[in-house]
Amino acid sequence: MTTDTLIAMTETPMHTRAADSHDVIRVRGAREHNLRDVDVDLPKRRLTVFTGVSGSGKSSLVFGTIAAESQRMINETYSAFVQGFMPSQARPDVDVLEGLTTAIIVDQERMGANSRSTVGTATDANTMLRILFSRIGDPSIGSPQAFSFNVASISGAGAVTIERGGQSTKERRSFSITGGMCPRCEGMGTVNDIDRSQLYDATKSLNQGALTIPGYTPDGWGVRIFTGSGFLDADKPIQDYTERELHDFLHKEPVKVKVGDINMTYEGLIPKVQKSFLSKDREAMQPHIRAFVDRAVTFTTCPACDGTRLSEGARSSRIAGRNIAELCAMQISDLATWTRALDEPSVRPLLTVLQETLDSFVAIGLGYLSLDRTTGTLSGGEAQRTKMIRHLGSSLTDVTYVFDEPTVGLHPHDIQRMNELLLRLRDKGNTVLVVEHKPETITIADHVVDLGPGAGTGGGQVTFQGSVDGLRASDTLTGRHFDDRAALNPALRRPTGVIEIRGADRHNLQGVDVDVPLGVLVVVTGVAGSGKSSLIHGSVTGRPGVVTVDQSPIRGSRRSNPATYTGLLEPIRKAFAKANGVKPALFSSNSAGACPNCNGAGVVFTDLGVMASVSTVCEVCEGRRFDASVLEYQLGERDISEVLAMSVTEAEAFFADGPARTPAAHVILARLADVGLGYLSLGQPLTTLSGGERQRLKLATQMADSGEVYILDEPTTGLHLADVENLLGLLDRLVDSGKSVIVIEHHQAVMAHADWIVDLGPGAGHDGGRLVFSGTPAELVADRSTLTGEHLARYIGS
What distances in angstroms separate CA 195 from CA 22, 82, 199, 293, one per listed residue? Answer: 66, 47, 7, 10
pLDDT score for 742: 95
Considering the chain, what is the average pLDDT of its residues?
87
Which pLDDT band holds residue 12 (cuts at 50, 70, 90)? Answer: very low
The mean pLDDT of 458-467, rounded to a whole number, is 93
pLDDT score for 151: 92
Ranking 219-228, 610-619, 751-760 by mean pLDDT, the lowest is 610-619
pLDDT score for 552: 67
Which pLDDT band holds residue 611 (cuts at 50, 70, 90)? Answer: low
pLDDT score for 6: 47
Q: What tens digit of pLDDT does each residue of 200-217 get?
A: 888 888 888 888 888 888
pLDDT score for 690: 67
Q: What tens digit of pLDDT does each residue of 773-783 get?
A: 999 999 999 98
Q: What tens digit of pLDDT does each residue of 560-580 get?
A: 889 988 889 999 999 999 999
pLDDT score for 607: 64
Q: What tens digit of pLDDT does each residue of 658-700 get?
A: 889 999 999 999 989 888 788 888 998 887 776 667 778 888 8
pLDDT score for 183: 92
pLDDT score for 168: 85
- Answer for the pair 777, 752: CB distance below 8 angstroms, yes or no: yes
Burial class (CB in 10 A: 0-12, 13-18, 19+), 303: exposed
* Distance, first Cα to last Cα, the chain: 72
Ranking 58-62, 87-91, 98-102 by mean pLDDT, the lowest is 87-91
Q: Which of 743, 734, 738, 736 is nearest to 712 (CA)?
A: 743
Reduced 3-state DSSP string for 264-319? EEECCHHHHHHHHHHCCCHHHCCHHHHHHHHHHEEEEECCCCCCCCECHHHHHCEE
Ranking 253-257, 352-356, 608-612, 638-642 by mean pLDDT, the lowest is 608-612
pLDDT score for 663: 92
Which pLDDT band holds residue 556 (cuts at 50, 70, 90)? Answer: low
**Percent of the residues in the chain that have a pLDDT greater than 90, as a whole number:** 42
pLDDT score for 704: 72
pLDDT score for 4: 55
3-state helix, strand, coil in the chain (%, to 5): 40, 20, 40
What distances in angstroms separate CA 562 from CA 176, 518, 567, 678, 698, one per listed residue? Answer: 54, 32, 8, 11, 10
Burial class (CB in 10 A: 0-12, 13-18, 19+), 40: buried
- Answer for the pair 190, 307: CB distance below 8 angstroms, yes or no: yes
Ranking 24-28, 191-195, 645-649 by mean pLDDT, the lowest is 191-195
Q: What tens digit of pLDDT does each residue of 177-187 get?
A: 899 999 988 89
Which pLDDT band holds residue 718 (cuts at 50, 70, 90)? Answer: confident
pLDDT score for 568: 92
- Total length of the chain: 798
pLDDT score for 380: 67
pLDDT score for 280: 65
- Answer for the pair 418, 33: CB distance below 8 angstroms, yes or no: no
- Contacts for 635 with CB less than 8 Å, ≥ 6 apart: 575, 576, 579, 580, 643, 659, 660
More confident: 394 or 53: 53
3-class DSSP assignment, residue 751: helix
CA distance 747 to 501: 24
Q: Is the pLDDT of residue 14 over 50?
A: no
